[in-house]
Structure 1
Amino acid sequence: MNTITLIGCGWFGFPLAKQLVKQGFQVKASKRHPDDLTPLQQAGIEAYQLDLANVTIKAKNSALFDADAIVINIPPGLKRGQTDYLDYLIQLKSLMGDRQYQKVIFISTTGVYPSLDQTVTEQNAVAFNETSETLLQAEAIFSAMENSCIVRFSGLIGPKRHPGRFFAGKTDVSGANVAVNLVHLDDCVAAVSLILSRTDTLPIYNLAANEHPTRDVFYTAATQHLELIAPQFNQLQQPSKIIDGQLISQQLGFQYRFDSPFKMLDAC
């Protein structure tokens, strides 16, 4: 494997691309807007403009898709009311055509698991609402491809995403009892890099730190870490879940750098 394509090169994709360049790969990556290509080029990445909402003839014939492996990282945007997510992915699959990749990695989310007050593994995904149904349909577009691997990220934190700002100063916050499921950017980069290097990967992996403090304990500590006003939680409990992210460790020997959300705070 020499050439790796990244579809989507933002908060997660750009650090991954730079890491792969360091490892000696030829890396191609896409951004929606042409003005965003220069930082990629300066980092030694072959940069391509790709807007799945407006695919041009140039995009259809682009060398972007000629690679040994491809990582697809397109944020769903469902919480923002985006409705074209599946259309974009179908368009992307069409652009990939009949190319044969040594690895097809699709970045998904642990939003496919319902909160039923239990620990969930890769086998527990279910369409329990409209959002989860969309996410599972998105996974299915690529999971049927040869050499595919779905990677489901838990809540992402890292540079410019310090959890101390999520609930700072808020009052009457529900769900103090809810388990926190987080993963640090550095662990996401390391895990996907590892999956790219292996031929014995399983179809699906969760990524989540092993420790799952409750929301009130963790977010109080996170706001204190930034010396912000701690949130005030009410007594209203909510359904919870614990994401088991250990399969990748057991099967591929992956070691989380941040096995506790508390350890992530100094690296945000």
Structure 2
Amino acid sequence: MTQISILGCGWLGLPLAKKLIEKGHSINGSTTSESKLSILENAGTNPFLVELESESVSENINDFLANSEILIIDIPPKLRGNNTDTSNSSRKIFVEKIQTLIPFIEKSTVKKVLFVSSTSVYGDENGNVTEETIPNPQTESGKQLLLTERILQKNQNFETTILRFGGLIGVDRHPVKFMAGKENLENPDAPVNLIHQNDCISIIEEIINQSKWNEVFNAVAPFHPTREEYYTQKAKKQNLVLPTFSIEKSNIKKVISSKKVEDSLGYLFKLENY
């Protein structure tokens, strides 16, 4: 049994916690909402109310990390847009939160960190994208994720694995619901780069089970129909108004490769979920 702390028991973190508990691990789980503490407790975790700020962390952070060998960081930057605000507070607030957390990790029992990142760090890259592709984020979220990745990787007090997920989907979460009925959507011929919640959880399990630390992994299902094909089909299946696409707004054809996940972890994606 390994004790694991999961910072951010939300859409992905909570079902991940439940799965790891099923596998015999002890889980400290965090939330920023006091009302969710009972949900975490009912799921079998040791619940903690943890708030990260640019210059402070909740007083119970040491208890949250205590006796854990692994820390999973699964908190989104919650930023949108293309860096229109260039102020320091806008550019680095997420990075500063992680920097504030790091000294507490260093003095804890944590020796392994898994940071949930995003393929947005690659920006609008065309062609096949692997872990060897040089990141070039255009969004503010992508920029802060990449800075955070590098800060964690450089720290010699613990080993860090970076897991870059593509677009997240699940039973209760699918982008077609937001695209239904919309007109003149961009990039009809662009390949989709999606990953299902179940695959996310299973890949994290394999990283832990196989001790794959100091690594970078892309995690996207090897299933890349065009945006127009995929979302039209999904809208029809769910009886939604079909979206329409603009041929004039078509230029990005990025395909994220998960070959390293498949080869290094021996992982097989559950394509029936897509």
2: CA distance, partners of 1:36 / 1:128:
33
The Cα of 1:159 is off from its aligned counterpart by 2.5
Amino acid at match of 1:105: L
Relative distance call for 1:235 and 1:15 in structure 2 (3 A) is same
The size of the alignment, in residue pairs, is 261
The Cα of 1:162 is off from its aligned counterpart by 2.1
Q: Could you say what the CA RMSD is over the residues aligned between the two structures, in angstroms?
A: 2.0
Corresponding residue of 1:44: 44
2: CA distance, partners of 1:103 / 1:39:
26
Runs of 5+ unmatched residues, structure 2: 84-88
Secondary structure, aligned partner of 2:76: coil
Where do residues 5-44 of structure 1 align in structure 2 (5 Å cutoff)? 5-44=5-44
Corresponding residue of 1:117: 126
Corresponding residue of 1:234: 246
The Cα of 1:171 is off from its aligned counterpart by 0.9
TM-score with structure 2 length normalisation?
0.88
Secondary structure, aligned partner of 1:205: strand
Secondary structure, aligned partner of 2:80: helix
Deviating more after overlay: 58-67 vs 26-35: 58-67
The Cα of 1:76 is off from its aligned counterpart by 1.3
Amino acid at match of 1:204: V
Flag as ranges the 4+ runs of structure 1 deviating above 6 A: none
Secondary structure, aligned partner of 2:28: strand
The Cα of 1:72 is off from its aligned counterpart by 0.5
Relative distance call for 1:60 and 1:200 in structure 2 (3 A) is closer
Identity, in percent, stands at 30
Cα offsets for 1:163-221 (capped at 9, x unmatched): 32131000111210111000000000000011011124451001001011111000101
Runs of 5+ unmatched residues, structure 1: none
Amino acid at match of 1:240: K
2: CA distance, partners of 1:157 / 1:124:
24
- CA contact 2:168–2:195 (8 Å) conserved in 1: yes
Where do residues 34-73 of structure 1 align in structure 2 (5 Å cutoff)? 34-53=34-53, 55=56, 58-73=59-74
TM-score with structure 1 length normalisation?
0.90
Corresponding residue of 2:3: 3
Cα offsets for 1:83-119 (capped at 9, x unmatched): 3211211122122133353421000000011323210
2: CA distance, partners of 1:247 / 1:204:
9
